[in-house]
Structure formats: C-alpha cells, structure tokens
Amino acid sequence: MYTQDMIDLQRGRWFSALPEALRDEVLRSTTRQKLKRGKHILRQGDPANGLYGLVGGEAQIIGTTLAGLDILVAVYRPGDWTGFLACVDEGPYTFSVVASQPCEVVHLPLAAVNRIFLSDAEGFRRFILPELASTRAIYSQIIESLAYTPLQRLARRLVDLTSEPHGDLVTSSFISPVTQDQIALSIMASRQWTNRLLQHLEQAEVIRISRSRIDILDRTRLTQLAVHGESGFTLAEGTPAKVTIS
C-alpha cells in the first residue's frame, strides 16, 4: 500500500520511473523535514550531504552570481528532487533551494545515495538521468538564447517556471510568489523593460498579473512564443501601465 509520501513523490518523473523495490528502499532511508517559508533546504556552496525530495509546498531554486545577484532559476514542486550533481562528484551544491511556501521534504543522506545508486552501473544510470536532462536543456538554452528577443526570453522563462526542472512536464498554471526583479534578472532585462513585456502579454490575454503572482491563461500561445518567436505579437504603443507583481 502506498503512503502519502510515495503518492506525492510519484508526481515527479524521476522517482516514479524507479523500480518499486528501489522506491521503497529510498523511502526507508530518508528522513522527513518541515520548513517555514524563507528557510533554506540547502545553500549554494555547502558541501554535499545527500538528495532532497519535495513532498509538499514549493521551493525556489536560486543561483547567486559572484557579484551577489540572486537569480531565480526554477521552481520545485511536489515530486521534484535536487542535489544529484553534488552527490555524484561530492562537490558543493551549485545553487540554493529556498522554501517559497511552507515545505515538507525528504532527505536521502549521501551514504544512502552511495549505497542505493552509486555502487553499480545500472543504479548510477538511473541516478544520473535528471542531471543529464538538465545538461541537455542547458545546451539547448545556450544555443537558442543567442537568437532570442527579450519577449521570447520572458515567454521561455514563464514556461520553464511552471514546468518540472528536469523536463517539459507542466506542473503548475501559475508562479507565486515571484517579484518583478526576479523575472527581470532571469531574462537579463531592465525592470522597466520587463514591466512593458509583462504588460504586453497580459493585454494579449496570455497571462494575468496580480501581486506576487503570474497566472498562465493561454499556455499554447505562450509556448508558441517561447519556441517560435514573436511573429504575430506586437508591443503595445504608448506608456505602459505599472504591473503589480512586486
């Protein structure tokens, strides 16, 4: 009989694809933690101490630049796991994971990761699949972003932030909490220009903006814009109204 933890974790592609015996072994080896909003699940630069799986709530993936800028990289939701790369090379974590809502996570210690996954070739292959998917996505994003316009970059980020981190499975119809500064930094645009782009998408009825929240109203058009560019989309003329996500 499946526990609630098992049901929640199976929303994610990686855990649900594991053989049942392996899933059971993972859950037997984990400890459960509850975190308040704003608390770190792990910090960029900390030494590896295992894998973390989100059971409830949401968490933001934050990368901090050498200049101290915090960049919103992704949003984790129930079923998502993090820490794969650090567990493999035993280097520090490459980004921070911060609870954006009250969270419940399970922690698989590094020793258990080594025992369950890294002692044989097949286990290693299963373990590394999410990291390989991320690497492929990064390569694709580097290539595509060279030709992206700011509006297309915004559409791509909104699609990414409502999808699973290691693939294209849609996991949410909204992003919350989120600030305009976070969006602007993640698309390498000024706050003023980001304001105008967000307003344009709202006027086109692709998104709806409210305080600290963006709802996706038309994912099909947003995805088309992200993939194929802004043919058929034109920026509104005149001075844009101020948006209110922050």
My answer on whether 133 and 95 are in the same domain is yes
Other C-beta atoms closer than 10 Å to the C-beta of 67 total 5
Tell whether 36 and 136 lie within a shared domain. yes
Domain membership flag for residue 166: yes
Q: 212 and 194, same structural domain?
A: yes
Given a cut of 70, whether residue 110 has pLDDT beyond it is: yes
In this structure, the answer to whether residues 157 and 126 fall within a common structural domain is no
- Could you tell me if 88 and 177 lie in one domain? no
How many C-beta neighbours within 10 Å does residue 72 have? Answer: 21
The residue-averaged pLDDT of 234-239 equals 48
Q: Are residues 156 and 127 in the same domain?
A: no
Q: For residue 238, which of 208, 200, 201 has the smallest C-alpha distance?
A: 200
pLDDT of residue 177: 93
pLDDT given at position 12: 87
Domain assignment of residue 115, yes or no: yes
Token pair 């409210």 is at which residue? 210
pLDDT grade for 184, boundaries at 50, 70 and 90: very high
Q: Is position 243 within any domain?
A: no
Q: Which residues of 107-140 are buried (b: 16+ CB within 10 A; e: fewer)?
A: bbebebbeebbeeeeebeebbbbbbebbeeeeee
Tell whether 133 and 156 lie within a shared domain.
no
Residue pair 55/77 in contact by the 8 Å Cβ criterion: no
Report helix angle 150-161 to 219-228, nearest 10: 130
Average pLDDT over residues 40-52: 97
- CA–CA gap between residue 238 and residue 196 (Å, rounded): 10
- Whether 186 is covered by a domain: the verdict is yes
**Are 196 and 124 part of one and the same domain?**
no
- 142, 158, 182 — which closes off a domain? 142
pLDDT value, residue 146 = 79
Which of 108, 142, 176 terminates a domain? The answer is 142
Q: Are residues 101 and 13 in the same domain?
A: yes
Q: Is the pLDDT of residue 234 over 90?
A: no
Q: Which domain range does residue 166 map to?
A: 148-228
Q: Domain holding 103: CATH number?
A: 2.60.120.10
Average pLDDT (180-204) is: 93
Number of other residues whose CB lies within 10 A of the CB of residue 169: 12
Structural domain count, the chain: 2
pLDDT of 89 higher than 60: yes
pLDDT confidence of residue 138: 86
- Residue 80 DSSP code: -
Q: Do 117 and 217 sit in the same domain of this protein?
A: no
Residue 235: inside a domain: no
Q: Contact 238/196 with Cβ under 8 angstroms? A: no
pTM listed for this prediction: 0.82
SS3 annotation, 7-59: HHHCCCHHHHHCCHHHHHHHHHCCEEEEECCCCEEECCCCCCCEEEEEEECCE
Q: Same domain, yes or no, for 78 and 19?
A: yes
pLDDT band at 1 (very low <50, low <70, confident <90, very high): very low
The C-alpha atoms of residue 171 and residue 154 are separated, in whole angstroms, by 18
CA dist., res. 83 & res. 60, Å (int)? 14
pLDDT value, residue 4: 65
Instruction: Classify residue 195: in a domain, yes or no.
Output: yes
pLDDT (0 to 100) of residue 233: 64
Kindly state whether residue 234 falls inside one of the protein's structural domains: no
Instruction: Give the separation between CA 214 and CA 202, rounded to whole angstroms.
Output: 10
Question: Given 111, 142, 173, which residue is the final one in a domain?
Answer: 142
Q: What percent of the chain has pLDDT over 70?
A: 91
Please report the pLDDT score of residue 62 as a whole number. 96
244 found inside a domain: no
- Pseudo-torsion of CA 137, 139, 141, 146, nearest 10°? -170
Q: What is the CATH number of the domain that holds 219?
A: 1.10.10.10
Check whether residue 10 and residue 118 sit in a common domain: yes
| DSSP three-state, residue 231 | coil
